[in-house]
Amino acid sequence: MAKTEKKARGKRAQPKGPALQFGGKWAYAPAPESTDVVTLRERYDLFVGGSFVRPKSRRWFPTVNPATGHSLAEVAYANAADVDLAVQAAKKALPGWRKLSGDDRARYLFRIARILLERAREFAVLETMDNGKPIKETRDVDVPLAAQHFFHHAGWADKLELLFPGAAAGQKPEPVGVVGQIIPWNFPLLMAAWKVAPALAGGNTVVLKPAETSPLTALLLCEVFQQAELPPGVVNVITGDGATGKALVEHPGLDKVAFTGSTEVGKQIQAAVAGRKVDLTLELGGKAAHLVFEDAALDQAVEGVVRGIFFNQGHVCCAGSRLLVQESVHDTFVQKLQRRMARIRVGDPLDKNTDMGAIHSQAQLARIQELVQAGVDEGAELFQPACSLPRHGYWFAPTMFTGVTQSHRISREEIFGPVLSVSTFRTPDEAVQKANDTSYGLSAGIWTDKGARILWVAERMRAGVVWNNTFNRFDAASPFGGFKESGFGREGGRQGMRAYVRMPGALLPG
Ligand code: NAD
């Protein structure tokens, strides 16, 4: 094994040591890190021009395993000079990449997708260690969906003229150019795939910046690009914090910025590109309403609500964080939910039986705690099932508030954690009015037995995605994106490709 690499080994994590009192609950000493699937390097460099290169900044920073609070590895910090090198590499690669036939670009995308699946276990384990999410989610959702995005967009690469027939006669849809892409920490590999796959299919080149607290799978993806022999510079990955992202957004060499993250940072980015000839798409926060009508199959709806808010510890932009239940079934539904919440297994994310893993970071835990305290202070009623939380790392029990009003902070602000707020409605009109009473507009869910009601409610919902009798289902062919302060632009499907091509001579602006 190379001197700079360490193999993370150990037994399957078991609670061990004496039980300790923590936050009013019984807890256990930390679980050992446990995998022989992943080889961790001590240090990760930047990926620029097809190779891993030391940062000009000569700085590295730690990335932490949220389940233990321990550092996993050090990651290069990209300063403005490093950002510049990455943009120059993407610029240099652009003429060659855009000149390739769609068919040839598709071959690279297929290759990337296949290698990703071949290395699925490695990606799943590394994502779980770096992010804190349960292995059954990285294994069954994040990695397969990431591969699906490369497969799906490979299919578009040679069909752009069919997809966008609006260009003037004899002209083809063209790539936008060099794209700066910035992603958050909640689905690190999946967000990288959502961004990179359509960009490459459209003939663009990329500088990608993953979040500072979960950069490892984007860096492992660079190894896949090397394995697939993607031409150097077509994708560059730079790691760093908000200042790195800001330097990327402000770089004059970009033709487009694609950002996924908080509404607050999205607004800063919108201001930074204003007045420049730079395309922009923003995928921002959410505060989804999840509506349960009295005629719904209540047991199925309980499962949907649990998936809607506790999947990925609630670190989900489209999480169903506001549950609106028809008054006549409120008490029954809440009792069912409480019983179901008591069966959620919280603990070692590498254990395949775990339902809810670690909160992603100390900062995120502090935000969740602050908003939960606000819920209590404002008079909502708190419910948490008795559950054992590990002593080290960052943890929070599944949480539900009842008696929540529209004015409570927990009902208005994105908590981005495993916290559900419940309120009631009497009529469909009132349900729609309450659901839309938010500054966000990313997603919503409806549970009812009546097809006509689904259609009536769905068409009144100001949300980019409306799930019916299900929740948190994703597909590469299905466009995803928001209204209002949840951003603009779509990712996935035909609409997602539109953001990565320009239409010369088209009547409508390209
Ligand atoms: P964040 O906005 O703090 O950070 C996102 C990314 O932006 C990170 O890579 C960060 O380093 C970078 N960044 C920070 N400041 C920057 C600046 N001034 N200029 C450029 N880049 C900057 O968000 P987060 O905490 O990582 O992620 C959580 C947020 O992301 C939530 O609000 C969630 O709803 C949202 N999100 C949205 C979607 C979607 O598709 N709509 C998907 C996932 C997450």
Q: What is the pLDDT of residues 353-382, one digit of tens each?
A: 999 999 999 999 999 999 999 999 999 999
Q: What is the pLDDT of residues 27-37, one digit of tens each?
A: 333 333 446 78
Tokens for 104?
A: 């040839």
Residue (of 343, 349, 302, 339) closest to 323 by Cα position: 302
**184 Cα–ligand 1 center, Å:** 4
| pLDDT(304) > 80 | yes
The active-site residue, picked from 33, 137, 212, 283, is 283
**185 Cα–ligand 1 center, Å:** 8
Tokens for 28?
A: 């256990």
**197 Cα–ligand 1 center, Å:** 19
- Annotated catalytic residue 378: no
Burial of 190 (0-12, 13-18, 19+ CB in 10 A): buried
Which CATH code fits 289-475? 3.40.309.10
Q: How far apart are CA 359 and CA 347, in angstroms?
A: 11
Nearest-CA residue for atom 23 of ligand 1: 261
Nearest-CA residue for atom 3 of ligand 1: 262
Q: How far apart are CA 223 and CA 51, in angstroms?
A: 9
Q: How far apart are CA 91 and CA 93, in angstroms?
A: 5
What residues flank ligand 1, with Cβ below 6 Å?
A: 182-186, 209, 211-212, 241-242, 245-246, 249, 260-262, 265, 268-269, 283-286, 317, 414, 416, 442, 482, 486-487
Beta-bridge partner residues of 279: 256
Q: What is the pLDDT of residues 108-117, one digit of tens each?
A: 999 999 999 9
Output the pLDDT for position 116: 98
C-beta separation of 105 from 205 below 8 A: no
Output the pLDDT for position 510: 44
Nearest-CA residue for atom 32 of ligand 1: 262
> 14-284+488-502 adopts what CATH topology?
Aldehyde Dehydrogenase; Chain A, domain 1 (3.40.605)
Tokens for 458?
A: 């769905």
- Give 156-159 contacts, CB < 8 A, sequence gap 24+: 156/198, 156/201, 156/494, 156/497, 157/102, 157/103, 157/105, 157/106, 157/109, 157/200, 157/201, 157/202, 158/101, 158/102, 158/103, 158/105, 158/106, 159/102
Output the pLDDT for position 35: 61
Percent of the chain with pLDDT over 90: 88
Q: How confident is the model at residue 269 (pLDDT cuts 50, 70, 90)?
A: very high
Q: Which atom of ligand 1 is nearest to the CA of 268?
A: 18
What is the rounded average pLDDT for all residues in the chain? 92
Q: Pick from 75, 79, 186 the residue to mutate for probing ligand 1's pocket: most ligand atoms within 8 Å of its CB.
A: 186
The active-site residue, picked from 122, 127, 137, 317, is 317
| pLDDT(200) > 80 | yes
3-class DSSP state for residue 260?
Answer: strand
- Note the helical H segments in 261-311: 263-273, 298-310
Q: Which atom of ligand 1 is nearest to the CA of 249?
A: 20
Residue 146's H or E segment, with its range, is helix 143-157
- Annotated catalytic residue 317: yes
Parse the chain into domains and list their residue ranges: 14-284+488-502, 289-475
C-alpha pair distances (Å), 295 with each of 288, 334, 389: 21, 15, 37
Q: How far apart are CA 375 and CA 102, in angstroms?
A: 53
Write down the residue that tokens 């090397």 correspond to: 226
Output the pLDDT for position 2: 39
Q: Pick from 257, 317, 465, 485 the residue to mutate for probing ligand 1's pocket: most ligand atoms within 8 Å of its CB.
A: 317
Tokens for 202?
A: 């459209």
